[in-house]
Structure 1
Amino acid sequence: LMLLGCTRPAAAPATSAPAGDRRGAGGSAPAAKREPVWLLRGARVMTAAGVIYERADVLVRGDAIAAVGVDVQLPAGAELVDATGKTVTPGLIDTHSHLGVYAAPGFSAHNDGNEVTTPVTPQVRSEDGYWPQDPQIDRARAGGITVMQILPGSANLIGGRAVTVKTYPGARGIDDVRMAGAPDGLKIACGENPKRVYGEKGGPSTRMGNVAGFRAAFQKAREYQRSWDRHREKLARGKRRGGLGKDGKPEDPPDPPARDLGLETLAAVMRGEVLVHNHCYRADEMLGMLALGREFGFSIRSFHHAVEAYKIADRLAAAGVSASVWADWWGFKAEAFDGIRENAAMVSAAGARAIIHSDSAVGTQHLNQEAAKAMWAGRRAGLDIPDDEALRWITANAAWALGVLDRVGTLEVGKQADLVVWDGDPFSVYSKAERVFIEGRLVYDRARPAAQPHTDFELGYDSGFGGAKARVAWAARRTAPKRCRSTVFFMGDGGDEGETIRCLWRGAVNDP
């Protein structure tokens, strides 16, 4: 079963090395193979780089885009794929995902996104809680998602490092999917969540306390960085003296400061090596966080959720800060009350980078539709939002926010061949992703069940994707056996009787 679960679809479109299978048995480098070359012919090509071709071609050589344009010549030995009537876009990028750290099935044993032991935890990393067998990842890929940023949750002021991953199937660990060269992010959160979670645990209990917590943490990091700077200067001074002290006698090198992983992360933020992603709703708080960044010498890469970004769109544009927002979520808590559907369009119209994110295992499956809703809301308000700009909300702008625009996010020569073939206009509610490619390899094909990979966890379960002998279903809490206090996980042969019922609560399995 493990071998079956790790099988990956063949390279696009011909049969060759499995997608994402970068290493051979025992970790040795795979044998040299002829790199696949293939041409998508006759598609509508939306580049997300300012150009939309109504009929054009995309040439892929190996893992990169080799040509985009009209009447691209078919190289000798290349495979031709007829894409007439289809639309090709870059792979979609979700800047805000918790897949793998809040995995399905959604019981407490899978809650690995919030380290709710103290409000400041920059030392933790989402990659250490990421479960690549989360079935939700397969659904995201089927919706055209090729890159995701996996963030810690928003319970803490400083939640920890985020990781950017490719949605390769068949992954066994984070190293199989971590995007090479992508900088880490840092998740921080202002507003209601930290004060709600910690208000009765010693604080913070107010927005004042939130900001004080941020300032204290970054001040410690500043002092930590200075202690290392002094240490390095002492080492350099000793080297210049040939290892001799002021008295001319041999001198032992100074002891380094004690290492602190959390302060290292915050120091890396202040050096610009780790990108800040800030969960923040209200306009006044976003302005306050920009001021905090100026005080401690760091920039915020993207405000997430940012339901009031439209109120300060000009300030975001001037600061070069993006806004990762929903299309139409609002009102589910006090700080979300002033959200509007025109948010992304107004941010974009002001010259700032708008991004549509999901923060949802469901929303990520139709991120193209979320962008379409936001685009049409802007147009109805009289704002000029071209299709290419709306596409950038889920491709190029998102890639910029993650620090990977030089690699992905647009269909341009030299970039990684992450792309989606749609059966129609990607902004139509009726369109679906037919094929998804990551670095030139087919990772999803709607027409071919063999190219719709699923995790080991789902093997043998009939969830509508080809299983035959079992099923996974959910029951409401009121129908659970008395000893259950959370979700009930049903396993059986598809019948309504004779099923084994297990209560899953806090990681324990108790048979009733």
Structure 2
Amino acid sequence: MNRLLSTGLAAAIALALGACGEPEKAKPTLELPNKDPFPSTYQANAAGTLLIKGANLLIGNGEQAEATDLVVKDGKIVAVGEGLQVPDGATIVDGKGKWVTPGLIDVHSHMGVYPAPGTANHADGNEMTSPVTAQVWAEHSVWPEDPQFEKALAGGVTTVQILPGSGNLIGGRGVTLKNVPATTVQAMKFPGAPYSLKMACGENPKRFYGGKGQLPSTRMGNMAGYRSAWIEAAGYKKSWDDYIKKVEAGEEADAPTRDLRLETLVGVLEGDIRIHNHCYKVDEMAQMIDMAKEFGYKIAAFHHAIEGYKAAPMLAKEGICAVMWADWWGFKQEAFDMVRENIALVDYAKACAVIHSDDPIQVQRLNQEVAKAMSAGNRLGLGLTAGDAIKWATLNPAKSLGLEDQIGSLEAGKNADIVLWDANPMSVYAHAEKVWIDGVLRFDRNDASVAPTSDFNLGILEAGEVRP
């Protein structure tokens, strides 16, 4: 190429570049926090095909079926009906005269964070260093080898929500676990389950911090403390929203400094984290609902809800679950206005009634707690059946956790979390005979080798000892 042509080509290129302007700058990159830094590593064991034949089924949604078959394949329920064909290669369990329910769900447990044996050095459920500790996560205190987990499994409990304690206004994140043996909490985490945030009304936070001369020392101090936290969270959310808006518009912007406490609160404001609120009294429930509307978040459930029967119409209207005991009451002032018909009356009002344990002993016999609540309602003349009542420990708690599409009822497509009972589970004499989680047999009352005990128990329990 001669020099003249070369010079002309260079000029043409320069002219073209001038016409196009400066080369386009690279767009700024968004720097967003990782919303799931501790992901579930749970992997179900290979599950074959199972046929439970001719059992009495409490479906979990209020329905009941007698002499009915249930088929499980690859960890899912695939068919429920009478006289189903035996699938190729299926394990057949004779259910004649026995009862089948969905796996029981306890949405208020402190297993793992207050493990057994109960020693002060392992009491890790309450970070009572500030009234608002939304930055702490219960899963970071869970000891997976807590012997209480296997005892709950023997009672038919397949899913648990582990919560921080109630000493703080906002105590931290809860975590939903599959009740399976594991050495890490990540291997127990229910994949994709929404996080929860524990809040607490009433006596506990004001008693503790008031005793130290801090806010809150009164119920009005409680409300001021919550609202201050939500105002701060709303400002933090706006700083991130503004940052994202600028970057998406191609503007240079610095990401806000991360704040773990406010990140959790923003997760609630964005609808990713569900509020589970310790709250006994109807007047405080109403105030918490007003505050949720003020800041634009949703309450999933009020826990303990001693006065749920008074709040039932309001709870039904707002779509909030009431999580209750069958008959615990009177252990402090806010727990005095209790009636044994509490759960049944909440259910009668078409609200979401849930039973819970909040106790390592009650979790072992949650079916009996359901039966007590059902009996109380029937003495009032409500005509409840076992099919009606079992949903208080199955489908309704699944709803409070945001998992009703996966667990809580014996319906095709749902996870095969199943309990085979040797008698009507509403009977004090009933035992969970077999328990499956995702179609895998995890407990067999007649074969202790199915659910080996935790390492902690080795040398304590004799080999082959049944651990109901």
Aligned to 2:52: 40
- Choose the corresponding residue for 2:237, options 210, 217, 225: 225
- Give, in whole Å, the separation in 2 of the partners of 1:463 and 1:213: 51
Aligned to 1:299: 298
Aligned to 2:393: 394
TM-score of the aligned structures, taking structure 2 as reference length: 0.89
Q: 1:450 to 1:309 in 2, by over 3 A?
A: same
Alpha-carbon offset, residue 53 of structure 1: 1.1
- List per-residue Cα deviations over 1:276-325 (Å, max 9, x = no partner): 00001011001110111011101110000000010111001000001000
Identity %: 51
1:124 partner SS: coil
Tell me whether 1:183 sits opposite 2:194 in the alignment: yes
Tell me whether 1:63 sits opposite 2:69 in the alignment: no
Tell me whether 1:340 sits opposite 2:351 in the alignment: no
Moved more, 253-262 or 366-375: 253-262
* Contact in 2 for aligned 1:446/1:452 (Cα 8 Å): no
- Choose the corresponding residue for 1:193, options 198, 204, 209: 204
- Give, in whole Å, the separation in 2 of the partners of 1:462 and 1:180: 32
Q: State the number of aligned residues.
A: 425
- Give, in whole Å, the separation in 2 of the partners of 1:222 and 1:123: 16
- List per-residue Cα deviations over 1:393-447 (Å, max 9, x = no partner): 0000000001111100000001000000000100000000000000000100001
Alpha-carbon offset, residue 71 of structure 1: 0.9
* Contact in 1 for aligned 2:67/2:82 (Cα 8 Å): yes
Residue type at the aligned position of 2:254 = D
Residue type at the aligned position of 1:338 = D
Q: 1:435 to 1:231 in 2, by over 3 A?
A: same
Moved more, 78-87 or 341-350: 78-87
- List per-residue Cα deviations over 1:338-374 (Å, max 9, x = no partner): 0111000010000100000000000000000001000
Aligned to 2:163: 151
* Contact in 1 for aligned 2:312/2:351 (Cα 8 Å): yes
Spell out the pairing of 1:372-391 with structure 2 (5 A cutoff).
Answer: 372-391=371-390
Spell out the pairing of 1:229-308 with structure 2 (5 A cutoff).
Answer: 229-238=241-250, 253-308=252-307
* Contact in 1 for aligned 2:102/2:417 (Cα 8 Å): yes
- Give, in whole Å, the separation in 2 of the partners of 1:463 and 1:204: 50
- List per-residue Cα deviations over 1:193-217 (Å, max 9, x = no partner): 0011111321210001000000000
Tell me whether 1:80 sits opposite 2:92 in the alignment: yes
Q: 1:359 to 1:464 in 2, by over 3 A?
A: farther
Tell me whether 1:96 sits opposite 2:108 in the alignment: yes
Q: Deviation above 4 Å: which 4+ runs of structure 1?
A: none
* Contact in 2 for aligned 1:145/1:364 (Cα 8 Å): yes
Q: Which has the larger radius of gyration?
A: 2
- Give, in whole Å, the separation in 1 of the partners of 2:409 and 2:262: 35
- List per-residue Cα deviations over 1:89-124 (Å, max 9, x = no partner): 000000100000000000101111000111100010
- Give, in whole Å, the separation in 2 of the partners of 1:191 and 1:278: 11
CA RMSD of aligned residues (A): 1.5
Alpha-carbon offset, residue 382 of structure 1: 1.5
Aligned to 1:317: 316
1:176 partner SS: coil
* Contact in 2 for aligned 1:369/1:427 (Cα 8 Å): yes
Spell out the pairing of 1:348-387 with structure 2 (5 A cutoff).
Answer: 348-387=347-386
* Contact in 2 for aligned 1:48/1:396 (Cα 8 Å): yes
2:186 partner SS: helix
* Contact in 2 for aligned 1:342/1:377 (Cα 8 Å): yes
* Contact in 2 for aligned 1:59/1:65 (Cα 8 Å): yes
Residue type at the aligned position of 2:457 = E
Alpha-carbon offset, residue 44 of structure 1: 0.6
1:175 partner SS: coil
Spell out the pairing of 1:131-142 with structure 2 (5 A cutoff).
Answer: 131-142=143-154
- Give, in whole Å, the separation in 2 of the partners of 1:172 and 1:205: 41
Q: 1:414 to 1:381 in 2, by over 3 A?
A: same
Unaligned runs of 5+ in 2: 1-40
Residue type at the aligned position of 2:345 = M
- Give, in whole Å, the separation in 1 of the partners of 2:50 and 2:278: 41
Spell out the pairing of 1:91-130 with structure 2 (5 A cutoff).
Answer: 91-130=103-142
- Give, in whole Å, the separation in 2 of the partners of 1:200 and 1:219: 26
Alpha-carbon offset, residue 82 of structure 1: 1.2
Residue type at the aligned position of 2:196 = G
Q: 1:381 to 1:113 in 2, by over 3 A?
A: same
